[in-house]
Structure 1
Amino acid sequence: MRLYPEKLAHHLQAGLAPCYFIYGDEPLLKLEALDMLRQCARNNGFDDHLRFDAPNLEWDDIFSASQSLSLFSQRQIIELALPEKLDKNSAQRLGELLKQCHPDLLLLITGPKLNQQQQKSAWFSAISQAGPVILVNTPEGSHWLRWLQQRIKQHGLQIDNDGVQWLSLAFEGNLLALNGELEKLALQQLPSPLSLALLQEQVQPHHQFNPFQLFDPLLEGKVKRATRILLQLRAEGIEAGMLCHLFARELTPLIHMQLGLTAGQSFSKLAAELHIWSSRQGLVQSALQRLPLAKLQQLQAMLGAADVAVANFEEDEAWRWLYSLCVGFLDGKKMGINP
């Protein structure tokens, strides 16, 4: 059963399930979900609490803990933090542990962001049958703005529209820092609604992006957002060479697919051959409809120029080419610059 983080409080009104799996890449949402579950468990008499962390999960110790209770408690919480990849032995032992769930044992399992293959695994299926699974990814696009507005309201604040937009740009990708700033604002006696000027006086921006967040906006043609992410990645110290490698991983399949479509092959067959996840196929189709082969080949040549600049230690030149490359995803018109 899949459960969204914002629905967890309502779910808990009906009581605790024997097992919860919280996974994803958003630390604030993961921490808040865990805290809510721990508090609910304590309110229901789960006083004994043990935690086991990756990468060194000692399964014999975990099983021993799950089969014994302290002298002072009849109900027990066991927390497991799973590693990035679960080996065969761990997957098997986890499946065995899930079969031991009972009303006096609560399993709180956390994990990283999972790919599609991991979500189709037997161990993930076993966890899903044992209790709710809660995906905690960083909200993006309209979901991010909606989350921000809800969090502002939750802290009892009122902020004008310009202020909300500024916060959405100043803290995109960094929910922990944003929540901390909202908590501080809520403790101060400031005029309401908070204006943009006042926020800029009181709050220090904390953007945070990872390189993989750059490519979905590019595939959608959202160049303004993509270039903003690119500039922030540079400010955060990401190397141009790393981005060149990631751009090649995105561009090469696009060119292969455009060649295949031109030759009469179906999109679904090409997507399967190139192992493009179903969740991204809509984005890829959008890009292919907008970017003809000639434009994609020009973008590839620009990437080659960025690669040469990296090899020659011309960092500024490499970043200029990467910026132009992002702009090139806007439409199918050939650009007036040549590598």
Structure 2
Amino acid sequence: MITIYSEELKKQLSQKLFSCYFLIGNESLLIQESIDMIVFYALNYGFEEHLRITLNLQTDWDMLFFKFQSLNLFNQRTILTLQFPINGLNRTISEQLVKLTSLLHNDILLLLNINKLSKKQENTIWFKKLSTQAVLVFCHPPEPTELFHWIMKRIKKMGMVIEDSAVKLLCYLYEGNLLGLSVVLTHLSLLWPNKTLTIKEIKNVANNTENFTPFDWINAILEGQSKKTLLILYYLKKENIEIVLLFRILQQDLLTLLYLKRNKNKQSLFKRMELHNVWKNRRSAFIKALQRLNYFQLQKAIHLLAQLELSLKQHSNQNFWLELEKLSLILCHGDFPMSFTND
């Protein structure tokens, strides 16, 4: 199996399209860019349909297996992206994955999005079978010490020129928020396509351009800033941001908070945050959330979020933006009414 980093994916795809790609990591920007790049190259091989499925206890495996068999029958080339559970796989899902690998054929391009690959998963039957014809792509965010060089490579690829001092300002403003950084770089390239950019232009875009990202919404929740949370959520809705993306990002930070609560007697809080990759510029917000929310409330919020995602997959007529607004306010105030704390 070939192992590469996300920035090396384009070179690999230009050489050969493999039948399976493991996308390892929790950086949503790098994951999405990797998927988009694979889909783009796969079009040249006749892969026109793209199915996305999140694996959980409600996954309709019979439907999935039937789809595999029908694709083989009609020679319809399809890309299948499987989103693994953040908490890992249970025995049922692992067993079904073994069966799924036996049904794979040349008309299916398999993309597996895994938050963290464990040694236990590497030793499974399904992993060993897939890895013989696979590429493993690491989609982890750059470390703070590497962020400057990461931005420099990105702006060079975009054909931009930015002074070192301005790049350092971008590092300060967008550490831990690659999605927001990506949006700002795109705005800068459109506003000043043929200019060497300075701190002045960076501040101009950062201060005057309404460029809220899902991470701004999450940070406002952690800080307990209810008005700002609703303002950003309204903007994200207006910009047609995929609500599933918001579910995933919120779930990730809630699980981190739960971990920090659960292991509070084992190590210092700052050591635990460091081990769980909580960026320095977000730690004060995490501390505020930990002081405001107890273990039971975090568990309940994660459960509510899972219910919303399940309802969304079942094409419910529920107003999901309104429900997300309610959950956001509850998390901001730490006040869970009885209707939210009872099943």
Match in the other structure for 2:60: 58
Contact 1:23 1:134 in 2 (8 A): yes
Partner of 1:27: 28
- Structure 2 Cα separation of the partners of residues 24 and 118 of structure 1: 15
Query: Which residue of 152, 160, 165 maps to 2:163?
Result: 160
**Cα distance 1:97–1:139, how it changes in 2: closer, same or farther (>3 A)?**
same
Mark the CA change 1:116 to 1:147 in structure 2 (over 3 Å): closer, same or farther: farther
- Which of the numbers 170, 173, 189 marks the counterpart of 1:170? 173
1:38 aligns with 2:39: yes
> For residues 292 and 25 of structure 2, what CA distance do their matches in structure 1 show?
23
For 1:108 and 1:190, the matched residues in 2 are separated by 35
Higher Rg of the two aligned structures: 1
Partner of residue 198, structure 2 = 195
1:315 aligned partner: none
Counterpart of 2:136 in structure 1 is: 133
Question: SS of the residue aligned with 2:63?
Answer: helix
Deviation at 1:239, TM superposition (A): 3.1
Q: Deviations over 1:88-121 (max 9, x none)?
A: 1211221232233332221122122345554555
Partner residue of 2:104? 101
How far off is 1:236 after superposition? 6.1
Q: Which residue of 2 aligns with 1:83?
A: 85
Change (3 A) 1:54 1:74: closer
Q: CA deviation at 1:200?
A: 1.4
Matched to 1:215, the amino acid is K
CA separation in 2, counterparts of 1:171 and 1:120? 38
Write out per-residue CA displacement over residues 102-153 of structure 1, whole angstroms, 9 at most, x where no aligned residue.
3222112212234555455554444433411212111103332221111111
Are 1:25 and 1:136, in contact at CA under 8 Å, matched by a contact in 2?
yes
Aligned length: 238
Consecutive unaligned residues in structure 2, runs of 5 or more:
220-252, 261-268, 296-343
Q: What is the SS of the residue equivalent to 1:203?
A: helix
Contact 1:160 1:193 in 2 (8 A): yes
User: Kindly tell me: are residues 214 and 201 of structure 1, through their superposed partners in 2, closer, same or farther at Cα, counting changes over 3 Å?
Assistant: farther
* 1:178 Cα deviation after fit: 0.3
Percent identity reads 31
Letter aligned with residue 52 of structure 1 = I
Partner of residue 233 from structure 1, selected from 283, 294, 311: 283
Aligned residues: CA RMSD: 3.5
Q: Deviations over 1:220-275 (max 9, x none)?
A: xxxxxx9x82x6432467435499x9xxxxxxxxxxxxxxxxxxxxxxxxxxxxxx
TM-score normalised by structure 1 residue count: 0.60
Structure 1 distance, partners of 2:63, 2:22, is 20
Change (3 A) 1:93 1:134: same
